[in-house]
Amino acid sequence: MTDENSDLLDVIIIGTGFAGVYGLHRIREAGFRVIAVEAGDDVGGCWYWNRYPGLRCDVDSLEYSYAFSEELQNEWRWSERYAPQSEIQSYIAFAADKLDLRKDIQFNTRISAATYNNDAGNWSLETEAGETLRARYVVMATGCLSVPNKPDIPGLDDFGGQLVHSVQWPKEKLDLSGKNVAVIGTGSTGVQMIPLLAKEAKHLTVVQRTPAFCVPARNQQWSDERIEFWRQNFRELRETARNSRAGVLHEYGLLPAAAIRPEDQIADLERRWIKGGPNVLYGFNDLLMNHDTNELVSDFLRGKIADAVDDPEIAKKLMPYEYPVGTKRVCVDTGYYETYNRDNVSLVDLRSEKLQQIEKDGIRTEEGFYPVDVLIMATGYDAMTGALLAIDIRTSEGKSLRTEWGKGPQTYLGLGIAGFPNMFVVTGPGSPSVFSNMVLSVEHDMDWIANCLDHLRGKDFPSFEADPNAQEAWMDHVDEVARGTLLNRAASWYRGANIEGKPQKFMPYVGGVNTYQKKCRDIADNGYEGFLIGGVSEATSAEQGAG
């Protein structure tokens, strides 16, 4: 290594959520000079930044945790089925300490720009503080849900009370007692926090644009027997999850609804409803393919809203009719609907009551004025592409990711992007990502990346990038699979529809975790088919790759 390259690392990982923490361990163990950079002052990613009341994961904690180490699995004891944020955050910190990762993490470092030098074959990363970091490869472990969506609501700037976005919840306790509180947004975040806010606030006003479908969590403490069962059967259970559609050990129904007698359909839905969690969505194998099946389950869930909410008018406002169930993320709730039976809670349904503006001390709609001291924006994220595009990613040959993705994201397998060599994306658009158990998917992606780096080791100035033709074919396939479902029928964040001006394109790959992981394995086994390896400039790579 020459002097001018003495600062050149093999790999820089951006982000230390579940992905970055595992990636740093995995790539370091493979013998590379690697560091991770992190904008926050601790590991955890979305579990570090988000800390609003009621925040939990909606995947069983025994599954939403690392599978690569039996030691980690055995030394950590999850307390509940759906772990709260603080416990997940502590778990990620525990893993980072156990693996001795902190010495290789640069905290409080936000990357603002990344430029690939096509001649030298390496990346320069600029930090917000003005530092430059260089590496041959960069791994974007920036997360799918990290950049807040801050919609431009008329009058928001005039609001004189306390304004809080759920993603930027204050570290110190937010005292809501005796206050008029309003929440805008009824996705998972709103649904999780609303029951708790209602207990604390003097009055809670919920502003709903589109109602969510919700299923009861029926959260519970894990018994010693359950924990022991997992410890004994850890490898088999993890393997079964990897070979499943969603990477989660749901009880997957194997038949379409039409193949089941009507009374058995309902009995099965009831049984799954009692079991709790998203189980009720997995009874029929055609929920997202068949309109009638979808209506059956949607009706069942709407009936449960009618059962839970005393006032039939409010119940009706809480019922989703405008999209098929499962095409927007289904929320896992604890006491959400019952909250609307409280005297101190009002529902503002924007479908029947247009919002006029936010004023200094409240919200004005066509129907009236709602006084507000604390306004909480539970308006979600610029999902899947937000964090990648927040960094000005370019090449010295003049390509810019923001321009390339002007009509929506393009990737090969969600892992690589044509025109941007030596950059890997973890759970990128075009991979199962948010349609899977994220921890399982980040482990898969990091293993794939580490194996690929190993394959490239020792090659002179290797440039590794997706072949544009392979990328196009993969994106066509991602589109085609989504088009065969009902998923394009909702204005969801899966399609970028929640962000004004964002190109609308269904982003996750919904062909199944099992199918996807096999595809990635086959591609690696076939000499990284569809990627171009070799040469320092894009043109040379393309020639060699085509040859």
Q: Using CB under 6 A, list all residues that contact ligand NA7.
A: 145, 151, 153, 184-190, 209-210, 329, 378-381, 493, 498
Closest residue to ligand NA7 using C-beta atoms: 187
Residue whose CB is less far from ligand NA7, 15 or 185:
185
Phi, psi of 393 (to 5 degrees): -95, 125
Residue whose CB is less far from ligand NA7, 135 or 358:
358
Residue whose CB is less far from ligand NA7, 380 or 511:
380
Residue whose CB is less far from ligand NA7, 263 or 500:
500
Question: Letter for the amino acid at 89?
Answer: Q
How many CA atoms within 13 Å lie on the side-chain side of 279? 15
- Give me the least distance between CB of 493 and ligand NA7, in Å please: 5
Distances 365 to 335, 355, 500 between C-alpha atoms, Å: 27, 4, 21
Residue whose CB is less far from ligand NA7, 277 or 545:
277
- Give me the least distance between CB of 322 and ligand NA7, in Å please: 9
Q: What's the farthest any 2 CA atoms get from each other in the chain?
A: 75
Residue whose CB is less far from ligand NA7, 362 or 530:
362
Under DSSP, the state recorded for 487 is G
121: phi > 0 → left, psi -120 to 50 → alpha, else beta; which?
left
Quick one: tokens of 364? 């004005």
Q: Decide: 436 and 513 in contact? Cβ < 8 Å.
A: yes
- Give me the least distance between CB of 443 and ligand NA7, in Å please: 18
Quick one: tokens of 344? 């101190």
Q: Which helix (H) or strand (E) holds 117?
A: strand 111-117
Residue whose CB is less far from ligand NA7, 226 or 316:
316
Q: Which neighbouring-strand residues pair with 393?
A: 114
- Give me the least distance between CB of 355 and ligand NA7, in Å please: 7
- Give me the least distance between CB of 434 and ligand NA7, in Å please: 6
Q: Which helix (H) or strand (E) holds 122?
A: strand 122-127
Residue whose CB is less far from ligand NA7, 416 or 428:
428
Q: Report d(CA 442, CA 45) in Å as an integer.
A: 13
Other CB atoms within 10 Å distance of the CB of residue 359: 17
- Give me the least distance between CB of 191 and ligand NA7, in Å please: 7
- Give me the least distance between CB of 433 and ligand NA7, in Å please: 10
Residue whose CB is less far from ligand NA7, 66 or 381:
381
- Give me the least distance between CB of 58 and ligand NA7, in Å please: 7
Nearest-5° Cα angle at 242, 240 to 246: 100
- Give me the least distance between CB of 29 and ligand NA7, in Å please: 30
Q: Report d(CA 475, CA 542) in Å as an integer.
A: 19
- Give me the least distance between CB of 520 and ligand NA7, in Å please: 23
Residue whose CB is less far from ligand NA7, 52 or 531:
52
Distances 387 to 46, 148, 231, 390, 397 between C-alpha atoms, Å: 12, 10, 36, 5, 23
Quick one: tokens of 527? 């000499």
Q: Report d(CA 192, CA 217) in Å as an integer.
A: 10
Q: Report d(CA 517, CA 497) in Å as an integer.
A: 28
3-state secondary structure of 175: coil
